[in-house]
Amino acid sequence: MEIKYLETNKGILVNGPALLKPQIFKDERGFFFESWNKKKLNALLKTQINFDQDNHSYSFKGVLRGLHYQLSPYLQGKLVRCIKGEIFDVAVDIQKGSETYGEWVGCYLSSKNRSQLWIPNGFAHGFLTLSESADVVYKASGYWNKNCERSIIWNDKKINIDWPLSKLDNNLPTLTEKDNFAPSLQEAEAIGEIL
């Protein structure tokens, strides 16, 4: 497995999110790869990660999920991969006091590149479905808790994520009501809902 730390939209290497590329073994039958190995992942990330929950979402083209995170004591780190289709996956630093607070990293995850994005605690997560449909699976290092779940608006002007809307013919994404009316990062911070 290969690891690559990502730069923010401002070209700063962010501490935390990492793109993981598996070693793929191909032959006439197809392919095989190890999608997760606790010992190897912990060694690569130089931390101890224990996953509590696996999640699977199915989305149609143009669906945007996020930007989601959970408050303490139910923080969640996520190891995200797209097993069918393609998504643009984003992590936003929401750790007050961090030198990259409010900045984002993004990458394309697909069934073709088989890459995964590690998103640690302290980052909001969202993705935009670019293919006709996409199956996204992720491991979470914490249990989902409705009372601690929060969202930040996907098009927050200060965060300024460069979503690839051109791949949707510049149409606006499809959102849940909760995500469509989520607060900005600044509003979430003002009401004490940032880490």
- Residue 18, classed as helix, strand or coil, is strand
Active site residue 138: yes
User: Which element (helix H / strand E) includes 128?
Assistant: strand 123-129
Active site residue 68: yes
Inter-residue contact 85 to 111 (CB < 8 Å): yes
| Residue partners of 176: CB distance under 8 A and separation at least 6 | 65
First-residue to last-residue Cα distance in the chain: 31
Burial 28-59 (b: 16+ CB within 10 A, else e): eeeeeeeeeeeeebeeebeeeeebeeeeebeb
Which one of the listed residues 56, 74, 138, 143 is annotated catalytic?
138
Which one of the listed residues 5, 56, 58, 68 is annotated catalytic?
68
Q: How is residue 135 written in tokens?
A: 């199956």
Catalytic residues: 68, 138
